[in-house]
Amino acid sequence: MSKTVTLTSYIPSGNPENKHFTIQETVQPTADDLETGDLLLQSMVMSADPYLRSGCKSEEKGGPIPRPMTGFVAGKVLASKLDGWVAGDLFSASLPFCDVQVLKGKDARGALLLKLTGKVEEKNISHGIGVMGMPGSTAYGGLLDVLRPEKDREANGKKPETIWVSGAAGAVGSVVGQIAKQVFGCTVVGSCGGPEKGQLCRDVFGFDHVVDYKTVSTADELVAKLKECVPEGIDMYFENVGGMHFEAAMKVLRPHGRVAVCGGIARYNEGERQAERFFPTDMIYSFQRVEGFMCLPWLSGQKGNFLDDMGRWIKELKVVPEETFFQGIEAWPMAFQALFTGKNVGKVVVRV
Q: Which residues of the shown chain bind a second copy in the complex (CB under 8 A)?
A: 239, 242, 246, 259, 261-264, 267, 273, 275-294
Report how far residue 59's alpha carbon sits from residue 129's, in angstroms, rounded to the nearest whole number: 27
State the Rg of the chain over Cα.
21
Q: Which is nearer to a second copy, 8 or 286 (CB)?
A: 286
Contact 188, 180 (CB under 8 A): yes
Nearer to a second copy, 15 or 288 (CB): 288
According to DSSP, residue 50 is labeled G
Shorter beta-carbon distance to a second copy: residue 5 or 262: 262
165 closest CA partner among 156, 152, 174: 174
Q: C-beta of 63: minimal distance to a second copy in Å?
A: 16
CB of 191 to a second copy, least distance (A): 16
- Least distance (Å) from a second copy to the CB of residue 273? 7
Q: Which is nearer to a second copy, 263 or 311 (CB)?
A: 263
DSSP 70: E
8 A C-beta contact, residue 89 and residue 115: yes
Which of 170, 333 has the CB closer to a second copy? Answer: 170
Cα separation, 136 vs 41, in Å, equals 23
Exposed/middle/buried for 342, CB within 10 Å: 0-12, 13-18, 19+? middle
Please, which residue, 99 or 239, has the CB nearer to a second copy? 239
Residue closer to a second copy by CB (options 21, 246) is 246
Rounded to a whole number of angstroms, the minimum distance from the CB of residue 96 to a second copy is 20
46, 129 contact by CB (below 8 A): yes
Under 8 Å between Cβ of 17 and 333: yes
Beta carbon nearer to a second copy, 132 or 290: 290
Q: Is the dihedral of CA 117, 123, 125, 127 positive or negative?
A: negative
Please say whether the beta carbons of 26 and 4 come within 8 A: yes
> Nearest 5 degrees, angle CA 260-CA 51-CA 148?
15
Tell the smallest beta-carbon distance from residue 347 to a second copy (Å).
19
**Residue-by-residue DSSP string for 24-40:** EEEPPP-GGG--TT-EE
Q: How far is the CB of 242 from a second copy (least distance, A)?
A: 7
Q: Provide, rounded to whole angstroms, the least separation between the CB of residue 153 and a second copy.
A: 20
Q: Between residues 35 and 285, which has the closer beta carbon with respect to a second copy?
A: 285
Q: Of the candidates 126, 232, 220, 213, which has an alpha carbon nearest to the alpha carbon of residue 169?
A: 213
Beta carbon of residue 253, minimum distance to a second copy (angstroms, whole number):
11
Q: Which DSSP letter does residue 41 get?
A: E
Q: Residue 303 in contact with residue 145, Cβ under 8 Å?
A: yes
Report the nearest approach of a second copy to the CB of residue 244 (Å).
Answer: 13
